[in-house]
Amino acid sequence: MDIKVALVGNPNTGKSTLFNRLTGLNQKIGNFPGITVDKKTGFTKLASGKEAEIIDLPGTYSLYPKSADESIVFQVLADKENDSHPDVIVLIADASNLKRNMLLYSQVADLGIPIILALNMIDLSAKQGIEINLDKLAEKLGIQVVSISARNNIGIDKLKQAIANTNKIATQYQDVDVNFLAPEAINAIKSKLNSDNDYYALQVLHQHEHLTFFTEKEQEEIEHIEQSHHFESSKIQAAETIARYKHLSTILSDVVIDKGTEKKFSFSDKLDAILTHKVWGFAIFLLILFVIFNAIFAWSSYPMDWIETGFGFITSIGHKYLPAGMLSDLLLDGVIAGLGGIFVFIPQIAILFAFISILEDTGYMARVTFMMDKVMSKVGLNGKSVVPMIGGLACAVPSIMAARNIENWKDRMITIMVTPLVSCSARLPVYILIISLIIPSKTVLGVFNLQGLALMVMYLVGIIAAVLVAWVMKFIIKTKERSYFIMELPVYRMPRWKNVFYTMYEKSKTFVFEAGKVIIAISIILWVMASFGPGNRFENIDKKYESALADTTKNTDHIKTLVATEKLENSYVGILGHWIEPAISPLGYDWKIGIGLITSFAAREAFVGTMATIYSVDGGDEDTTTIRERMSASVNNRTGLPVYTFATGISLMLFYAFAMQCMSTVAIVYRETKGWKWPVIQLAYMTAMAYVAALVAYQLLK
Amino acid sequence: MKLSHLKVGEKGTIVAFTDLDMSVKLMEMGCLPGEEIEVERFAPLGDPMAIRVAGYQLCLRKSEADVIIIQ
C-alpha cells in the first residue's frame, strides 16, 4: 500500500457509490481503533502501478459532529498518529448543489492535508443546466478538481490519475483565516500543541472533549485555555460558518452558472405529491411494508430449507465418518449446529437489507422518516427511528447498528432500547411451532387463515409493546440535549443495484461474524452442560440399561432413546431445568420447556432445536411421528393434562415476544452504548415484562 | 415573521435566527441570512415541513422553523 486516501463528503453525494466503484469487492469493515464506529476500507490500483488504500469516512455536513459517526471525521483527519490518517483527501461534492457542499470542503481544506475536489453527478447537473468552470475553480482553490459520475463510471480514471499526481504537501490556498474569531485562545493552543494550523487549533477548542487522542493532562490544559479566554463555542461556530459561506460566494460567483433551477425538481415534486400525500402516502407505505414482510417470509423459505438441509447433511456425514467421541460430538452437535442456527438467517437478513438499501437509495426512506416523525416524536422517538424498527423485523443486531444515524442521544437510546421488542426472524420458528400446536388451521371469513392471523397478531403485539415502552422511557430518560429533526430530502433516483448487492453482502457478513462469535460460544457451553452431569449419574444410567441394550434379539432403539432422555434430564441443563421449575410452573411450563427457555436464552431459535432434541428422544419408537405431534401428545407428569394447552401456548409465545433472549443483541447494545448500564437495564425490563405477560396470560386462560 | 407561519408555495428571505444553537445547525444546511426559502409541503400529519433552500429540499420540524425569522 503506497498511499492512503480518505473519502469525505456530505450525505447523499454518492460517496458510497464512488467507494464501491474504486474498490469493488476488495473492501472490508472494521472498527476505528478504540471506538465502535464502522470503518470501511478497500484497495484500488492506480495507473502508475501504485496501490491506494481507500477509507470511506461517514457522510457529514460539516466538521462539527452531530452524531457518533460524524465525530470520527475530524478525529481521523486531525490525528496524525491515527491508523486511518490519510495522505490525501478526496472531497466529494454534489455538482448540482455545490455551494452547500463546499462548506465542508472549506473546513477540510483548512486543516492542511492535500485535497482533491471530485464533483460528482456531473452528468445530472449538466442536464439541469448547471455549468461549472473546472479550470477556474481549480485555479482559485489551488488544487486538482475532477468532474465525475460515480454512478455512470465517468471520470473515475481521471480521479485515480489525480490521486497518483498528488503531492504530499498541501497546495490549497487557505480558505478562511479563522484566527480573528478567537485569536488569543487559538494562539495559546497552537503553542501548546506545537501546531501552526489556526483551524486545527480552533477545532480542538470546540471539540477536544470528544477527541480520544489527548491525554488527561492535555485535556485539562486545553479546558483551562478555553475557560480563561471565555471561548463561546456556538457563537464562534456561527461566525465561522457565515465567514465561510461569504468566502465561498465570492469564489463560486463566476465559476458556476445555473441556467435552470426551476425545472430540475419537477419530477421529484410530482412524485412527492403522491408519495407523501395525506392518504396515499400512508397507504403506499403500508403496502410497501406488506411487500417487504411478505418477501422476507416467502422468498427466504427455500434458501432457508437448503441451508438447514445442508447443515443436517454435514452433521450426519460427520457422525458417519468422523471417529465417534467427545471431540466429534462437540464439533458436530455444538459448533456445526450453532453455525447452522446462524447461517439459516442469512436469506432473511439479505432480503431485508436489499429492501432497506433500495428504499434508501431511491430517496424514499427519507420521505418515510419525514412522514413518520410526528407520530414517532409523540412516543419519544424520532422519524429516523423508523428504519431500525422496520429492520427489527429481521434482526435487532444490524438494526441497532442502524440507529447510529439518529443524532439525538435520547432518541437514539430509546430506539436501541425498544428495537428488540419488534418481532425478529428468530421468533418466527418459535411462533410457527406453537401456533401449529394450539391454533387450528381453519379459514375464517372465507379468506383469512386462522394461523396466519395469529402470527400477525404476535407481530402487532411486538410493535405495540415497542411503542408503549418508548412512550414510558420518554419520561424516564433525562437529557439536556434538545431533540431536533433537520434532514435533507434527496431527489428521487433509481436504485444502484451494485450498491444494493454490496449492502446485502456486507450486512450478512457483519451478522455472521458479530452474532456468530457469541452464538458459537454459547452453543459450546450448552453442549457441555447437556452432555455432562454431576457425579456418576450418567454411569448409573448406563448401568441400568446395560443388560437391556445387550439383548440383540430386541430392537434397542427405544431403549437408546430412554437412555438419552434420562441423561438429558440428569445433565447440568436438565438439573437447571428442574431447578427453575417452581419459577416457571405458574406460567404453565414444565421442566422440559424450562430447558428450552435456558437454551434459548442465548438465541431464541434454539428453543425449537432443544424441543426437537428432547421430544425426539422422548417420543418412543414411532419414528414416523413429527416433533409437533409428539409435543402435542405430551402430558404433564404431575397433572396428567396435556402440556401444550391454549393457555400454555399463548403464555409461551408472549414470553418469547418480550424476553431479551438474544446474546448477540446484548453484545451489540454493549458495543453501541459503550458500557453495561443499558444492556443490563434492557435485559431486566424485557425479562420482567415477559414474565408478567406470560403469567397473566396463563392464569387468565387456564 | 416566523418561517412556520408561511403557507405552501409562499416564499420569504431569511433575516435572523432566534436561537443560537439551532442557527448553527441550520446554517450548515444552507439556511443563511439572505437566502430565499420556499415552503414546499407539510408532512401528512402537519409536521414536519419541507422547504426549498439553497437549491435543495430540506425538512425540519415546525418548532425548528420557529427560530427562523423571514421577510
Whole-angstrom Cα distance, residue A630 to residue A647?
Answer: 18
Q: What is the mean pLDDT of residues B16-21?
A: 90
Nine-digit cell string for A199: 483551524
For residues A102 and A96, the answer to whether their CB atoms sit within 8 Å is no
Minimum-distance CB partner of B59 among A66, A100, A370: A370
Q: What are the tens digits of pLDDT across the range A381-404?
A: 888 898 888 888 878 887 888 888
Are the Cβ atoms of B33 and A242 closer than 8 angstroms? Answer: yes
Phi-psi region of A230 (alpha: psi -120 to 50; beta: other; left: phi over 0): left
For residue A233, pLDDT over 80 is answered with yes
Quick one: DSSP state of residue A644? S
For residue A202, pLDDT over 60 is answered with yes
Tell me which residues of chain B, numbers 10 to 69, contact chain A at a CB-CB cutoff of 8 Å.
20-30, 32-33, 40-41, 43-48, 50, 52, 54-61, 64
- What residue spans of A477-496 are helical by DSSP H? none
Least confident of A43-57, A495-509, A597-611: A597-611
For residues A130 and A259, the answer to whether their CB atoms sit within 8 Å is yes
For residues A120 and A11, the answer to whether their CB atoms sit within 8 Å is no
For residue A243, pLDDT over 70 is answered with yes
Minimum-distance CB partner of A61 among B28, B33, B48: B28
Q: What is the pLDDT of residue A82?
A: 83
pLDDT class of A530 with cuts at 50, 70, 90: confident
Q: What is the pLDDT of residue A106?
A: 94
Q: What are the tens digits of pLDDT across the range A67-92?
A: 777 888 998 998 888 888 999 999 99
Whole-angstrom Cα distance, residue A45 to residue A164?
Answer: 10
SS3 A445: coil
* Burial zone of A589 (CB within 10 Å; 0-12 exposed, 13-18 middle, 19+ buried): buried
- Cβ neighbours for A336, distance < 8 A, ≥ 6 positions apart: A311, A314, A315, A318
Task: Name the nearest CA neighbour of A73 among A60, A88, A89, A86.
Answer: A60
Name the minimum distance, in Å, from the CA of B60 to any CA of chain A: 5
Whole-angstrom Cα distance, residue A154 to residue A137?
Answer: 20
Which of residues A56 and A341 earns the better pLDDT score?
A56
Nine-digit cell string for A582: 417452581
**Amino acid type, A156:** I
Q: What is the mean pLDDT of residues A417-441?
A: 86
pLDDT class of A179 with cuts at 50, 70, 90: confident
The string of DSSP letters for A324-386 reads: SSHHHHIIIIIIIHHHHHHHTTHHHHHHHHHHHHHHHHHTHHHHHHHHHHHHHHHTT--GGGH
Whole-angstrom Cα distance, residue A360 to residue A84?
Answer: 27
pLDDT class of A215 with cuts at 50, 70, 90: confident
pLDDT class of A621 with cuts at 50, 70, 90: very low
Whole-angstrom Cα distance, residue B58 to residue B32?
Answer: 13
Nine-digit cell string for B30: 444552507
Nine-digit cell string for A318: 460427520
Tell me which residues of chain A, numbers 498 to 557, contact chain B at a CB-CB cutoff of 8 Å.
none
Whole-angstrom Cα distance, residue A350 to residue A331?
Answer: 27
- Cβ neighbours for B36, distance < 8 A, ≥ 6 positions apart: B11, B12, B13, B14, B53
SS3 B45: coil
Are the Cβ atoms of A62 and B47 closer than 8 angstroms? Answer: no
Q: What is the pLDDT of residue A624?
A: 43
Give the phi and the psi of residue A601 in degrees, each rounded to 5.
-65, -35
Are the Cβ atoms of A62 and B28 closer than 8 angstroms? Answer: yes
For residue A151, pLDDT over 70 is answered with yes
**Chain B residue closest in CA terms to A234:** B21
Interface A–B counts its CB contacts (< 8 A) at: 110
Whole-angstrom Cα distance, residue A400 to residue A582?
Answer: 35
